[in-house]
Amino acid sequence: MSAPTDWGHRFARLGPAFYTELPPTPLPAPHWIAHSRPLARELGLDEEWLRSEEALHTFSGNRVLPGMRPLASVYSGHQFGHWAGQLGDGRALFLGELPTAHPDTAHARWEIQLKGAGRTPYSRMGDGRAVLRSSIREFLASEAMHALGVPTTRALCLTGSTAKVQRETVETAAVVTRAAPNFIRFGHFEHFSHRGQHTELRALADFVIDHFYPECRHTDGNPYAQLLQAVAHRTAELVAHWQAVGFCHGVMNTDNMSVLGLTLDYGPFQFMDGFDPHHVCNHSDTQGRYAYARQPNVAYWNLFCLGQALLPLMDDQQQALDALEPYKTEFPAALQRRMNAKLGLSNHEDNDPALTEALMQALARERVDMTIFFRRLSHAAATLPARTSEPAPALDSVRDLFVQHSAIDAWLPRWQARLQRQLNFSASTTAQQMLRTNPHLVLRNHLGETVIQHAQQGDFAPLHRLQHALQTPYDALPDHDDLADSPPNWAQHIAISCSS
Ligand code: AMP
Ligand code: MG
């Protein structure tokens, strides 16, 4: 049984302008809550050690292992459309970088971070802690998103403590150990740009290119403009994933945007239940700035901020605008690709966007549950006839999701005819592909709330059961159907804010 010793410090080599070194603040009487075995394996960690007392103390901030070099990084950002000035890792501590099984790639090493490990010079008014409730949500969501195939930071383990933390009420503290190739945000670039620290700005951009986007130097042209374009491309893919699975981030501030196009900082996020394009999951977002349907445009707004920040490294403003231009076509193309896959369409036709739009309008009109709709549609696809326009009997289960069957009755034959036009259409192959694209299970708010309530009473079994099922979201596990049911009525009244 052995602790990891090969801690890398590539980020630390950027120099002290980028961070403050400090140890975590110990948390009294820590206990284990959960581990991610899939991530432990990817990091090649000794699983026996990962469940040891030493690991418990390490990942709750009570022990610094030989080779670690804890630090908090500094960044700034735009919050809710306004320049917020300096922010930084107010409660996250970076421990070092562990090697992965992919040595010659951008994933050669992953940064390991503790979230909730105490105050830092960037804590401002905060206490440097994270509460159990929000830590459970971040832990589960990180690993659930990964299992869905959505780019995300990961979560290795979760520890709890009896230490009291004051939010709206008194709660207890917890620490999530996060992992990602890096945690660099748009806000890191904005920080140095805004202060006129162009040497640091260039060093940071070179760091990101050298380690994560080496292709930006392979062709002629300004590498920083290419970096911007590459980040925009990844962001387009990310947001297309979010929209297709009904995920609302909730706080798309520039300090929560990953330069690698990962889902980052799980706060008041939500997987939508009933489909509503205007849905706002963050109770603190009174203007609806980060409503579901606005996410693609907000991502562009954030990329524009990143472009502004990188201007000192580019020839002129036009170069930044040109680098962002492809986003405007890449995002809709990426989304349509995902929607086509959800509908079982293996090729592209000009009318596909109109077909998708008609469906989403029908879902929105009655707030039909998005996850359940696409799952039932996938099962129904298996029974579609190869040619005739006869309605498949299994489509009744889809129609039954609508109070007014007429709301979907015009759309279903259009979809059926569209599928039948595909070369060598096979109902069973189509259904299989759709079942691998449309999840059976997503981390709905009420599922999170239920396991949180048990965890707050010291019972972690429901959390582990949910975690297990979320690892295979496209499979309906036996005896787990309750997790995929429509949400109970009380789910509508869950209000999740920035408080965490
Ligand atoms: P967030 O809204 O979680 O993305 O956080 C925005 C900023 O506030 C970041 O700089 C965080 O590090 C900081 N922050 C949030 N909560 C706390 C806390 N309890 N203690 C210290 N800093 C915090
Ligand atoms: Mg944040």
Contact present, 330 and 236 (Cβ < 8 Å): yes
Atom 14 in ligand 1: residue holding the nearest Cα: 90
| Averaged pLDDT score across all residues of the chain | 97
Split at pLDDT 50, 70, 90, the class of 480 is very high
Q: Indicate which residues carry an active-site annotation.
A: 255
Atom 6 in ligand 1: residue holding the nearest Cα: 87
Q: Region 7-13: what's the mean pLDDT?
A: 97
Q: Region 341-350: what's the mean pLDDT?
A: 97
90 lines ligand 1 (CB under 6 A): yes
What amino acid occupies position 226? Q
Q: Give me ligand 1 centre to Cα 91, in Å.
A: 6
pLDDT at residue 103, as a whole number? 86
pLDDT at residue 421, as a whole number? 94
What amino acid occupies position 228? L
Q: Give me ligand 2 centre to Cα 176, in Å.
A: 14
Tens-digit pLDDT profile for residues 299-326: 999 999 999 999 999 999 999 999 999 9
118 lines ligand 1 (CB under 6 A): no
Q: Give me ligand 1 centre to Cα 446, in Å.
A: 25
88 lines ligand 1 (CB under 6 A): yes
Return the best residue to mutate from 78, 123, 265 for the ligand 1 pocket (most ligand atoms within 8 A of CB). Answer: 123
| 3-class SS shares of the chain: helix, strand, coil, % to 5 | 45, 15, 40
Considering every ligand atom shown, identify the ligand nearest to the alpha carbon of residue 251 and give its number: 1
pLDDT at residue 104, as a whole number? 84
Tens-digit pLDDT profile for residues 160-202: 999 999 999 999 999 999 999 999 999 999 999 999 999 999 9
Q: Which of 448, 450, 498 is nearest to 470 (CA)?
A: 448
Task: Find all residues with CB under 8 Å of 251, minimum gap 6, and list them.
Answer: 265, 267, 268, 282, 285, 290, 498
Split at pLDDT 50, 70, 90, the class of 392 is confident
498 lines ligand 1 (CB under 6 A): yes
pTM exceeds 0.75: yes
Split at pLDDT 50, 70, 90, the class of 389 is confident
Residue 130 alpha carbon, nearest atom of ligand 1: 19
Q: Give me ligand 1 centre to Cα 437, in Å.
A: 34
Q: Give me ligand 2 centre to Cα 429, in Å.
A: 42
80-94, 98-112, 249-263, 442-456: the lowest-pLDDT one: 98-112
Enter the tokens of residue 325.
């231009």
129 lines ligand 1 (CB under 6 A): yes
Ligand 2 ion: residues within 5 Å (CB): 256, 265
CA atoms within 13 A on the CB side of 426: 5
Q: Region 81-101: what's the mean pLDDT?
A: 97
Q: Give me ligand 1 centre to Cα 126, in Å.
A: 7
Atom 2 in ligand 1: residue holding the nearest Cα: 498
Burial class (CB in 10 A: 0-12, 13-18, 19+), 437: buried
Domain regions of the chain by residue span: 11-186, 192-337, 345-435
Residue 129 alpha carbon, nearest atom of ligand 1: 19
C-alpha to C-alpha distances, 72 to 66, 177, 207, 265, nearest whole angstrom: 18, 14, 17, 15
Q: Region 198-212: what's the mean pLDDT?
A: 98
Rounded CA-CA distance 8/97 in Å is: 5
Q: Region 86-99: what's the mean pLDDT?
A: 98
pLDDT(428) > 90: yes
Task: Find all residues with CB under 8 Å of 145, minimum gap 6, and list them.
Answer: 151, 152, 247, 263
260 lines ligand 1 (CB under 6 A): no
Contact present, 199 and 221 (Cβ < 8 Å): no
Split at pLDDT 50, 70, 90, the class of 101 is confident
pLDDT(387) > 90: no
Q: Region 423-441: what's the mean pLDDT?
A: 96
Find the helix or strand (DSSP H, E) in which 114 lies: strand 109-115
78-87, 224-233, 379-388, 459-468: the lowest-pLDDT one: 379-388
Contact present, 8 and 99 (Cβ < 8 Å): yes
The sign one gets for the Cα dihedral 326, 329, 333, 334 is positive
Return the best residue to mutate from 80, 124, 172 for the ligand 1 pocket (most ligand atoms within 8 A of CB). Answer: 124
Residue 87 alpha carbon, nearest atom of ligand 1: 10
